[in-house]
């Protein structure tokens, strides 16, 4: 019987460049609502890649709820759907160790952290910049806080 793949912390900082798939990612733009506060089931192999793709595209912290009950909060920055088994890679909050988990071990993904991309389209920025400039205000590009509201 084949051994069940497990989630691991990878202490190596090598090979951290994301591999991208050719499919179009699902993204949070001004036209699509944020996934903030959503919990998506990931236990089915039919939807696992789509759910993990949404976590990668979320650009905020998520909580992975694993089948063994463990919860890991952090930033999912890569998915490798073509690997055998398919895996997700994340930087856990407060850790410098890379966390690698097979899709088959992820029960749910909680989109709990603030999505830094919501409302940040180029068109929105240009509009806000033009409005401030028209009012004679200084238009700056300053980062928003990523802390939860």
Which of residues 115 and 89 earns the better pLDDT score? 89
pLDDT of 146 reads: 56
CB-based contact 88:121 (threshold 8 Å): no
From the options 2.30.30.100, 1.10.357.10, 2.60.120.260, 3.40.50.720, give the CATH code of 35-134: 2.30.30.100
Q: Measured between alpha carbons, how far is 55 from 60 in angstroms, rounded to an integer? A: 8
pLDDT of 134 reads: 87
pLDDT tens figures, 65-114: 999 999 999 999 999 989 999 999 999 999 989 999 999 999 999 988 76
Bridge-based pairing state of the strands 8-10 and 106-110:
unpaired
pLDDT of 5 > 60? The answer is: no
Least confident of 40-44, 46-50, 109-113, 119-123: 119-123
Residue 21 corresponds to which tokens in the numbers above? Answer: 């798939």
Sheet holding 71-80, edge to edge: 8-10, 98-102, 87-92, 71-80, 62-66, 106-110, 39-41
Which of residues 147 and 64 earns the better pLDDT score? 64
Residue position matching structure tokens 């236990």: 43
Q: Measured between alpha carbons, how far is 53 from 76 in angstroms, rounded to an integer? A: 9
pLDDT confidence band for 35 (50 / 70 / 90)? confident
Please state, for a pLDDT cut of 70, what percent of the chain lies above it.
Answer: 62
Mean pLDDT for all residues in the chain: 74
């Amino acid at each position: 019987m084949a051994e069940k793949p497990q989630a691991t912390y990878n202490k190596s900082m090598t090979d951290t460049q994301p591999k991208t798939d050719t499919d179009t990612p699902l993204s949070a733009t001004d036209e699509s609502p944020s996934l903030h506060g959503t919990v998506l089931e990931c236990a089915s192999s039919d939807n696992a890649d789509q759910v993990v793709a949404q976590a990668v595209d979320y650009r905020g912290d998520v909580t992975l709820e694993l089948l063994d009950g463990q919860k890991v909060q952090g930033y999912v920055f890569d998915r490798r759907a073509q690997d055998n088994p398919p895996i997700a890679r994340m930087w856990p909050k407060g850790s410098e160790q890379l966390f690698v988990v097979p899709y088959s071990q992820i029960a749910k993904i909680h989109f709990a952290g603030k999505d830094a991309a919501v409302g940040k389209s180029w068109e929105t920025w240009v509009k806000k910049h033009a409005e401030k400039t028209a009012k004679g205000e200084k238009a700056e590009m300053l980062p928003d806080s990523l802390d939860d509201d």
